[in-house]
Amino acid sequence: MNGHQVLSHCVRYLDVCGRPVDAFLDVQVIEDTSAASMTTHILEKLNACQLDPKQMTACTFDGAANFSGRHGGEQALFGEKCNPNLSCTHCRGHLLQLALVQAADSSKDIKKAINSTVETTWVIE
């Protein structure tokens, strides 16, 4: 987001009939991108939405070491705090964004649209 570090919170869960449901919870601008700080942000958001982090079976992150590091990244921290059998993968949405940015690199108009800032406030009810 135009030089800002943002953290988005999305969950996938099974409804009462066992069907997967995707839900967007929040996006927030953050200053500290350390694994410890982002883990705290995510756990606070889950708790605020009354979601038990110990019920997580899988999570996705971008490929940065602060997320995917097995010894100090969020993957390791979530394993310690939530579920030691947690399955962590590279976020498909982030992979798509990386591909789109690379594909759009040759177009000034597309690059300008991607880099524009949109101020949005999200309210969770």
Q: What is the DSSP string of 52-76?
A: -GGG--EEEE-S-HHHH-TTTSHHH
Q: What is the chain's length?
A: 125
Which residue do the tokens 């869960």 mark? 13
Q: Is the dihedral of CA 93, 61, 101, 5 positive or negative?
A: positive
> Using CA atoms, how far apart are residues 88 and 103, in angstroms rounded to an integer?
27
> Using CA atoms, how far apart are residues 74 and 89, in angstroms rounded to an integer?
12
pTM, two decimal places? 0.67
**Residue 123 within any structural domain of the chain:** no
- Type of residue at 63: G
**Residue 33 within any structural domain of the chain:** yes
- pLDDT at position 119, please? 52
Q: pLDDT tens for the chain, 125 residues: list them.
A: 456 788 888 888 888 999 999 898 888 888 888 888 888 988 999 899 998 888 888 888 777 767 767 777 888 888 888 888 888 887 777 778 778 778 777 777 877 776 765 554 454 44
- pLDDT at position 16, please? 92
**Residue 40 within any structural domain of the chain:** yes
DSSP annotation of 100: H
* Domain enclosing residue 36, as ranges: 5-115
- pLDDT at position 114, please? 66
- pLDDT at position 1, please? 44
**Residue 121 within any structural domain of the chain:** no
**Residue 101 within any structural domain of the chain:** yes
